[in-house]
Amino acid sequence: MAANQYVETYRQLSQAVHDAGLIRRCYGFYGAMIIGWLLALAALLVAVVLLSDAWYQLIIAALIGLVLTQLAFLSHEAAHQQIFSSRGWNEWTARILSGLFVGVSYGWWMAKHNTHHAHPNQEGADPDVKSTVLAFTPDASDQRRGLRAKLAKHQGTYFVPLLLFEGLNLHYASVKMLFTEPHVAFRFTEIALIATRHTAFLTLLFSVLPAGLAFGFVGIQVSVFGFLLGGAFALNHIGMPTVPEGIRVDFLRRQVNMSRNIQNGPMVRLLMGGLQYQIEHHLFPVAPRPRLRTLRKFVREHCSRHEIGYTERSMTEAFFTVVKYLNQVGMKNRDPYVCPLVQRYRG
């Protein structure tokens, strides 16, 4: 089938999805989610004040990390225009959830994430496959020399520990952008939101806890947040085919072939916040989270009919695929991850 025929089949799929009402807003769901997780955060902060300076404060720190991950998911959905019909309401909801509660710049995340959606797993275009620490593609591995090349051979092994630092990286990268990029919308608003969040949170902790426990609390909270949020995004794309720089693939196959779904379940729903339906999210980023399960049936049937590869794995299978892929890329082993689609385009 020619590339322009895939464009037409996507148009047909999109029409069927819209006709089925799968893009309709879910105000009740998102209202309950936002209010529920904000109340959970408030309850945990009250618990920090009321409980003694005992080790189990670190359990509360981990739970706050979990709650902030959920608020980050909701900010992500607002940024994709999923919650409200008004663009302004979505943007400000995302900005406030992200800056005032999570402590990450909405503007920084939007620029990075929109580029990822436009070019998933494409070298030289997708910021999520660029890293100074890990080699996500064979070409990136080829550029490693000396100690970095030796470390890359085992990068899958230390990928999980590195996720514990992802929260710190998100905080740092977003604040750095606010102070260094020349043109940033609502720069001072975002700086004020993030500064208020960090100041209030740290003041609370160091006022009611001994310094050592307060530092431990922050470390656990940031580590859990980074592990959960980074892990949710990593399982969806790492180990899927990468597209060399300069090669163009039609939208339908670009989004489906470079993404991986995670099999749904209660724990998966909690830990991944709808991102387990990554293929559907990439094809229809404005589709609300509650619609994605039904949307999956449309997309799977469409891909089966047009012989488009559709990947779905359990969370465990996806995790071991990610580790195996990173180690094999680090050892410059390309064979298991050559994309037939890209090979054909190169030919």
**H or E segment to which residue 312 belongs:** strand 312-313
Residues 305, 189: Cα–Cα separation, whole Å: 49
Pairing state between β 312-313 and 261-262: parallel
Output the tens digit of pLDDT for each of the chain's 347 residues. Answer: 555 677 899 999 999 999 999 999 999 999 999 999 999 999 999 999 999 888 899 999 999 999 999 999 999 999 999 999 999 999 999 999 999 999 999 999 888 888 888 888 888 788 887 777 777 777 777 777 777 777 777 788 888 899 999 999 999 999 999 999 988 899 999 999 999 999 999 999 999 999 999 999 999 999 999 999 999 988 999 889 888 887 888 899 999 999 999 999 999 999 999 999 999 999 999 999 999 999 999 999 999 999 999 999 999 999 999 988 888 887 766 544 555 444 444 43
Query: 304 is written with which tokens?
Result: 């089966």
Residues 200-252: tens digit of each pLDDT: 999 999 999 999 999 999 999 999 999 999 999 889 998 898 888 878 888 99
pLDDT digits (tens, 9 = 90+) for 63-73: 999 999 999 99
First to last CA, the chain: 16
**Structure token pair of residue 320:** 């071991």
Distance in angstroms (rounded) separating the CA atoms of residues 180 and 175: 9
Cβ–Cβ contacts within 10 Å for residue 9, how many? Answer: 17
Distances from the Cα of 9 to the Cα of 78, 252, 268, 303, 325, angstroms: 28, 8, 31, 10, 32
C-alpha to C-alpha distance for 79 and 285, rounded to whole angstroms: 10
Q: What are the sequence ranges of the domains in the chain? A: 1-23+257-308, 25-247+314-346
Give 187: exposed, middle or buried? Use CB within 10 Å, 0-12, 13-18, 19+. Answer: middle
**What is the token pair recorded at 289?**
């989270």
3-state DSSP assignment of residue 345: helix
